[in-house]
């Protein structure tokens, strides 16, 4: 097989080529490592370890020869730098963890390795996963391969960029308020956030514990199904929020008919603020679903607008608690010059954290403080429950929900630099499902202004990942948006 053709293969195709010995895992790993080095200007990768990657690839080739290959045997993948890894630095995109090397792997990393995947490296992300543009990384911003003057989305921007630019066949990401779905939309790839608790959070550097969830990002729904099948499963000994739901083969129902599928269309997702180009692409995608046998059903999610203030109270509150561990005592950055313990804390955190992380820590500390907890945090949790109830009321009338992922296509680098609220408002369509803990995904659905990708968001009820993936797969069989690539890659 021609080396040049390797990055044209999806996960399933590459896995088949490896099993059939058309290419070795070592050759595949070397090919993608070379591409990662050749496109460093994108800022997607933050750490490579060629020796560790090739050692894993040689072990995979040996298992293939012995006939003991796993479902992803020899397939090279890359991990968002929010997952800790033994053989690669784990920094969460922050100076606070510069050079940190974990003594263990995150459960998601371990599960994918058990399925045979080979780790290519670590991918850039907004610092501690806080951002919607991947401009908050302390290492470097990430550029969108469709237009390198634009952002790729965040916080899993490095992950989305790597798949879109063919620097990896698939990757891991995390979604707290939309950080898989939004960058997948902006970069024209497929990404899915499973039901909260489906994938273990053990070894994920925490941002907001009641919201953080791991998920796969790839070119197609069928490839995401393969990865998600390996990633999910209970982890009761290491993650108390892990659900006691057995692992599932998410590929099993990919070709089910969509005849009679009821797709809910929330009025709140199509109002003021949605750009005309995104709306046109989403409307065209919904018409394609009607051709495939689905039926569009009008629904309402009345508390959609409240998701922004609710999220930006709950998430910073949890972040302020989770990030209190970074004090310079046990691990991570420590200020060089200080007079006493309190001064060391102050200087360490001032030097180690970026502006957005500091902003969210201060907001979170404020809403949890005496006199404000009941007025802000407690009220936000009550409305969060109501948002979840809105979805359950809607699912009485439909099987899944569809709409835009974001109000616009990817914006220019630095465009929102002096207005963090503009980034927050861009999360309006992804936050409700995150607050409710529901599975959601982004599917390439066309192009908007500047020929930039537009994603269609699909949201399912709890544990309905198979239904989402089936709906996405059937759409991708009828369209070619997921196969298109940015020029030059």
In the numeric block, the tokens 């008919």 are attached to 257
The count of C-alpha atoms lying within 13 angstroms of the C-alpha of 46, restricted to the half-sphere facing its C-beta, is: 34
> Is 320 annotated in the active site?
no
Query: How far is residue 468's CA from residue 221's CA, in Å, rounded to a whole number?
Result: 9
Out of 24, 80, 137, 222, pick the active-site residue.
80
Distance, in Å, from the CA atom of 159 to the CA atom of 134, rounded to the nearest integer, reads 10
| CA angle centred on 310, ends 304 and 313, rounded to 5° | 160
Exposed, middle or buried: residue 260 (CB in 10 Å: 0-12, 13-18, 19+)? exposed
Task: Report the C-alpha gap between 55 and 67 in whole angstroms.
Answer: 19
Distances in whole angstroms, Cα of residue 286 to Cα of each of 109, 221, 322, 474: 35, 17, 40, 13
Whether 333 and 348 have beta carbons less than 8 Å apart is answered as yes
To 10 degrees, the CA torsion angle through 309, 313, 316, 321?
A: -170
Is residue 96 within 8 Å of residue 326, measured between CB atoms?
yes
State whether residue 455 is helix, strand or coil: strand
Question: H helices within 195-257, ranges in order?
Answer: 221-231
Cis peptide before 155 (omega within 30 of 0): yes
Q: Active-site residue among 24, 94, 137, 155?
A: 155
Buried b (16+ CB within 10 A) or exposed e, 391-427: beebbeebbbbbbbbbbbbbbebebbeeebeebbebb
Active site residue 80: yes
Catalytic residue selected from 132, 156, 179, 220: 179
What is the maximal distance between C-alpha atoms in the chain? 70
Query: Is 193 annotated in the active site?
Result: no
How far apart are the C-alpha atoms of 127 and 148, rounded to whole Å? 20
Which structure tokens are listed for 164? 């879109």
Question: How many CB atoms neighbour CB 100 within 10 A?
Answer: 16
DSSP-derived secondary structure for 336-379: S--SSHHHHHHHHHHHHS-HHHHHHHHHHHHHHSTTTIIIIIIH
Count CB-CB contacts under 10 A for residue 96: 26
Running DSSP on this structure, what letter comes out for residue 204?
A: B
* Residue 276 buriedness (CB in 10 A; 0-12 / 13-18 / 19+): exposed
Supply the residues annotated as catalytic: 80, 155, 179
């Amino acid at each position: 097989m021609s080396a040049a053709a390797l990055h044209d293969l999806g996960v399933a195709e590459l896995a088949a080529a490896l099993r059939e010995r058309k290419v070795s895992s070592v050759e595949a790993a070397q090919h993608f490592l070379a591409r990662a080095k050749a496109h460093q200007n994108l800022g997607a990768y933050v750490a490579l370890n060629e020796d560790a990657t090739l050692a894993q690839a040689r072990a995979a080739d040996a298992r293939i020869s012995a006939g003991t290959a796993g479902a992803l045997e020899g397939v090279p993948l890359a991990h968002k730098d929010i997952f800790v890894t033994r053989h690669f630095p784990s920094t969460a995109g922050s100076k606070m963890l510069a050079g940190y090397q974990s003594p263990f792997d995150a459960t998601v990393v371990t599960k994918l390795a058990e399925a045979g995947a080979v780790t290519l490296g670590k991918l850039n992300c907004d610092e501690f996963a806080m951002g919607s543009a991947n401009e908050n990384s302390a290492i470097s911003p990430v550029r969108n391969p469709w237009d390198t003057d634009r952002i790729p989305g965040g916080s899993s921007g490095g992950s989305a960029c790597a798949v879109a630019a063919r620097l990896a066949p698939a990757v891991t990401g995390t979604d707290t308020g939309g950080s898989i779905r939004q960058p997948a939309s902006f970069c024209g790839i497929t990404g899915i956030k499973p039901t909260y608790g489906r994938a273990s959070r053990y070894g994920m550097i925490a941002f907001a514990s009641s919201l953080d969830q791991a998920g796969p990002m790839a070119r197609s729904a069928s490839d995401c199904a393969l990865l998600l099948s390996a990633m999910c499963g209970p982890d009761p000994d290491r993650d108390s929020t892990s659900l006691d739901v057995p692992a599932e083969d998410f590929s099993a129902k990919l070709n089910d008919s969509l005849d009679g599928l009821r797709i809910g269309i929330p009025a709140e997702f199509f109002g003021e603020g949605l750009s005309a180009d995104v709306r046109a692409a989403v409307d065209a995608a919904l018409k394609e679903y009607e051709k495939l046998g689905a039926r569009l059903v009008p629904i309402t999610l009345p508390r959609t607008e409240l998701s922004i203030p609710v999220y930006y109270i709950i998430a910073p509150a949890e972040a302020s608690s989770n990030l209190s561990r970074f004090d310079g005592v046990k691990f991570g950055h420590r200020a060089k010059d200080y007079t006493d313990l309190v001064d060391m804390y102050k200087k360490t955190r001032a030097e180690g954290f970026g502006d957005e992380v500091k902003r969210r820590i201060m907001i979170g500390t404020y809403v949890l403080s005496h006199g404000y907890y009941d007025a802000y945090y407690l009220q936000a949790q009550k409305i969060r429950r109501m948002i979840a109830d809105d979805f359950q009321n809607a699912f009485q009338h439909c099987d899944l929900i569809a709409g835009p992922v974001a109000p616009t296509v990817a914006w220019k680098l630095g465009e929102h630099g002096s207005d963090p609220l503009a980034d927050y408002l861009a999360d309006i369509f992804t936050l409700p499902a995150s607050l409710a803990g529901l599975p959601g995904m982004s599917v390439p659905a066309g192009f908007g202004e500047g020929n930039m990708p537009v994603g269609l968001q699909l949201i399912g009820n709890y544990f309905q990942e198979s239904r989402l993936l089936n709906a996405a797969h059937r759409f991708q069989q009828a369209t070619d948006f997921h196969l298109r690539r940015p020029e030059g890659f």
